[in-house]
Amino acid sequence: MDKLAILIPCYNEGLTISKVVRDCQGATRSIIGTKIYVYDNNSMDNTVEEAKRAGAIVRHEYLQGKGNVIRRMFREIDAEYYVLLDGDDTYPADTIPAMVDLIKQKNIDMVVGDRLSSSYFYENKRPFHNLGNRIVRQSINKLFKSNIHDIMTGYRAFSYQFVKVYPVLSQGFEIETEMSIFAIENNMAIENYVIDYRDRPDGSISKLNTFSDGLKVLRRIFSLYRNYHPLRFYSLISSLLLVLAIIFFIPNIWIPFLKTGFVDKMPTLILCGFLVISAIISYYTGLVLDAVLQKERREFEFRLVLLKTQRRQVKKDGAVSK
């Protein structure tokens, strides 16, 4: 098991990857047992050659997408601590030791490299990225009652516990959103760490599409909110259906019935009945899914205990073999 694994997912980052690897090497000289892994994701330039020349361990993930790369990394690499950063030379490697120290000293599960509290808004040359970051951050912090300062940052440090229990489901750039919400909902310790961001050097092109990837992220937030808060989600739908039924029922059915004693608009009455039935079904759907969610959360806590037991055994066996 490595002491520290630095994970760098790459797609066509030949212009900057060697500098990123060298910066990471220089920043972690004091951390014995550090290894730098570059995972190439079907690059069509000289990313692989440059990474190898700089001294990184190069591996490949052939399923396209950042989420797929991170899934492969987390499955294959065992380390006490992990740092994830992009290969585009926008993040300062010299903050790696401080981020890792937070995990060691405070038992943090995920340290978030916070760009938005420092230089991101004036360094980043794509204004719609700034708007998108604000929307995503505010949406998650309000919906999930959290205080993460930078949701979309690609610079994070993780504990062994986080990496080995986090199920990567996203395939693309939604991965940062997914891991943030996963940590929030499972009561994992999160720390914001302010970093200085610098924009990509000339000739380096961002792979993130502001609009299409932004819509994917927003859809992912909606989907995860439904999954993690089913009772709240389906209760809201139930309430809306009931309100709609009342809006149709009172002026079209109830008031004329009080005046004449007859129901003239039977189709409207039937519609109101269907709306009420749908509202009841929606509410009970939320109840059932909430019960399933509570069971899954208990099982997750058991998995954490089992993981810690297994890790202690591995350390014990390693000490005995030495």
Kind and range of the H or E element at 5? strand 2-10
Q: Identify whether residues 157 and 241 lie together within a single domain.
A: no
- In the numeric block, which tokens belong to residue 142? 């309000």
- If phi > 0 it is left, if psi is from -120 to 50 it is alpha, else beta; for residue 261 that is left
| b/e code 131-154 from CB counts within 10 Å (16+ = b) | ebbeebbebbbebbebebbbbbbb
Q: Identify whether residues 220 and 236 lie together within a single domain.
A: no
* Pick from 99-108, 158-167, 168-177: least confident: 168-177
The answer on pLDDT for 319 being more than 70 is no
Model confidence over 216-225: pLDDT tens digits?
A: 899 999 999 9
Q: Identify whether residues 28 and 122 lie together within a single domain.
A: yes
* Pick from 28-32, 258-262, 273-277: least confident: 258-262
User: What single string gives the DSSP state of each residue in 261-317?
Assistant: S----HHHHHHHHHHHHHHHHHHHHHHHHHHHHHHHHHHHHHHHHHHHHHHHHHHHH
Task: Name the β-bridge partners of 83.
Answer: 6, 157
Is residue 54 helix, strand or coil?
Answer: helix
What integer pLDDT is reported at residue 83 of this predicted model?
98
The answer on pLDDT for 8 being more than 70 is yes
Q: Give the confidence band of 10 by pLDDT, cuts at 50, 70, 90.
A: very high
Of residues 206 and 100, which shows the higher confidence score?
A: 100
Of residues 201 and 121, which shows the higher confidence score?
A: 201
Is the distance from CB of 174 to CB of 208 less than 8 angstroms?
A: no
Q: Identify whether residues 199 and 55 lie together within a single domain.
A: yes
- In the numeric block, which tokens belong to residue 23? 């910066």
Q: Determine the structural domain holding residue 201 and report its residue range.
A: 2-228
What integer pLDDT is reported at residue 127 of this predicted model?
65
Mean pLDDT of the chain, nearest integer:
91
| Percent of the chain whose predicted confidence (pLDDT) is above 70 | 94
Q: Give the confidence band of 314 by pLDDT, cuts at 50, 70, 90.
A: low
Q: How many domains does the chain have?
A: 2
Q: Identify whether residues 146 and 221 lie together within a single domain.
A: yes
User: What single string gives the DSSP state of each residue in 104-136?
Assistant: HHH--SEEEEE-TTTTHHHH-S-HHHHHHHHHH
228, 246, 266: which is the final residue of a domain?
228
Q: Identify whether residues 274 and 311 lie together within a single domain.
A: yes
Q: Identify whether residues 209 and 256 lie together within a single domain.
A: no
Q: Identify whether residues 208 and 263 lie together within a single domain.
A: no
Mean pLDDT of 69-77: 96
Task: Name the β-bridge partners of 192.
Answer: 112
CATH of the domain at 193: 3.90.550.10
Q: Identify whether residues 28 and 52 lie together within a single domain.
A: yes
228, 249, 271: which is the final residue of a domain?
228
The answer on pLDDT for 268 being more than 90 is yes
What integer pLDDT is reported at residue 280 of this predicted model?
97
Q: Identify whether residues 110 and 183 lie together within a single domain.
A: yes
210, 228, 246: which is the final residue of a domain?
228
What integer pLDDT is reported at residue 22 of this predicted model?
97
Q: Identify whether residues 159 and 91 lie together within a single domain.
A: yes
Q: Identify whether residues 100 and 238 lie together within a single domain.
A: no
Q: Give the confidence band of 320 by pLDDT, cuts at 50, 70, 90.
A: low
How is the beta sheet containing 190-194 ordered, strand by strand?
57-60, 34-40, 2-10, 79-84, 156-159, 110-114, 190-194
CA–CA distance, 302 with 313 (Å, rounded to integer):
17
